[in-house]
Structure 1
Amino acid sequence: MPYRWTETSQTERRLELWPHRSLPRRGFAAFILATFTLITIPLYPLLGTFVLWGLLPFLLIAVAGLWWALERSYRDGEILEVLTLDPGHIHLSRTARRAKPLEWEANSYWARAEMHQTGGPVPYYVTLKGNGRTVEIGAFLSEDERRALYGELANALTEVRAHTHPQG
């Protein structure tokens, strides 16, 4: 799962969420190398001719374009959501590469996790509600991962609520 719960102290829990990467960096390098190798196969009969030098720049531009597009996808996917949960306080921060960090906090006793099966930007949309605001969490996760996250998040809030006294 592209998220992880950690116990930072006896009363505090931390949840980190990030987008899933189906192509790891090693696979990325292997894919570019394999593409370059396969794209040069038609050039072998042209070795020693001027036609090779006419085609080679276009093939290199194609490989460079593929590399650039995949690299851009990696940079755009550099999103990290961090939820800190303790008996008196819940805090969510979201950092993305080309956006300013977003912050939300509330009293953990009054915070609620909600799942919207329909009507959100994605099916089984998970939100947190508290302090007069509703914020999304884990929208980049798959449908099954969002369902699992909602269950774990609701349980964590229930557990922390059992150890909390309500404060305004």
Structure 2
Amino acid sequence: MPYEWLPPQDDTQRLHLWPYRSLPRRGMVWFIGATAGLLLVPLSAVIGSPVLWGLLPFLLLALLSIWWALERSYRDAEIVEDLTLTADQVTLVRHGPRGKRQDWQANTHWVQVERHETGGPVKHYLTLRGGPREVELGAFLTEDERLALEWDLRQRLRAMR
């Protein structure tokens, strides 16, 4: 699961969330290598002819475009959410893509976990309410993971109160 409860320190509990990556970096290297190898197949028929120089720039551009798109996808998915629970305060820090940081704090006693069946950007949308504004939690998780997180978070908040 792309979230984990870190070992408790004193009376503090920490939840660490991150998006799931279906293609790890090592897989990306293999994919780019296999794509380059497959692009060489049509070039082998024109080695030694001027057609090679006509095709080569377009094939290299295609390969660089695939690499750029995958790198952009990795940068956009650099999201990490850290939720800290103490007896008197809940703190959510979201580190978004390209270094964007958002903080939220509320009194533990007033925090409520809410699941929105519809109306959110995803099904079973989770939010935390109880501070100056309502914030989303784990929008990048799957439906089942959000349901498990909701149950787990409700139990831990109940235990903290």
SS at the partner of 2:56? helix
Counterpart of 2:72, as a letter, is R
Q: TM-score normalized by structure 2?
A: 0.96
Structure 1 residues not aligned, in runs of 5+: 162-168
Per the TM alignment, residue 97 of structure 1 is displaced from its structure 2 partner at its CA by 2.2
Counterparts of 1:102 and 1:10, CA distance in 2: 25
Counterparts of 2:148 and 2:49, CA distance in 1: 60
Could you give the per-residue CA deviations for residues 56-92 of structure 1, whole angstroms, max 9, x where no partner exists? 1100100000000000000000011100001111100
- 1:125 aligned partner: 125
Residues in 2 aligned to 1:82 and 1:11: alpha-carbon distance in whole angstroms? 16
Distance 1:138 1:158 in 2: 20
- Give percent identity, aligned residues only: 53
Give yes or no for the alignment of 1:36 onto 2:42: no
Moved more, 30-39 or 90-99: 90-99
Q: CA deviation at 1:8?
A: 3.5
Q: Structure 1 residue 115 and structure 2 residue 115: aligned?
A: yes
Deviation at 1:99, TM superposition (A): 5.9
* Whole-Å separation in 2 of the counterparts to 1:48 and 1:124: 59
Q: CA deviation at 1:110?
A: 1.4
Q: Deviations along 1:27-82, whole A, 9 cap, x unmatched?
A: 00000000000111011111111111110110010000000000000000001110
Shift of 1:98: 3.1
Aligned-pair Cα RMSD in Å? 1.1
Deviation at 1:16, TM superposition (A): 0.8
CA–CA distance in 2 between the matches of 1:19 and 1:132? 26
What is the correspondence of 1:1-168 to structure 2 with a 5 Å cutoff?
1-98=1-98, 100-161=100-161
Q: Distance in 1 between matches of 2:64 and 2:100?
A: 30
Deviation string 1:3-41 (CA, Å, 9 cap, x unpaired) is 110123131110011111000000000000000001110
| Equivalent position of 1:164 in the other structure | none
Moved more, 71-80 or 45-54: 45-54
Distance (whole Å) between structure 2 residues aligned to residue 117 and residue 99 of structure 1:
31
Q: How many residues align?
A: 161
Aligned equivalents of 1:108, 1:136: Cα separation in 2: 16
How many angstroms apart in 2 are the aligned matches of 1:52 and 1:133?
60
Distance in structure 1 (CA, Å) of the matches to 2:66 and 2:30: 13
Equivalent-residue separation in structure 2 for 1:121 and 1:97 (angstroms) = 18
- 1:101 Cα deviation from its structure 2 partner: 1.1
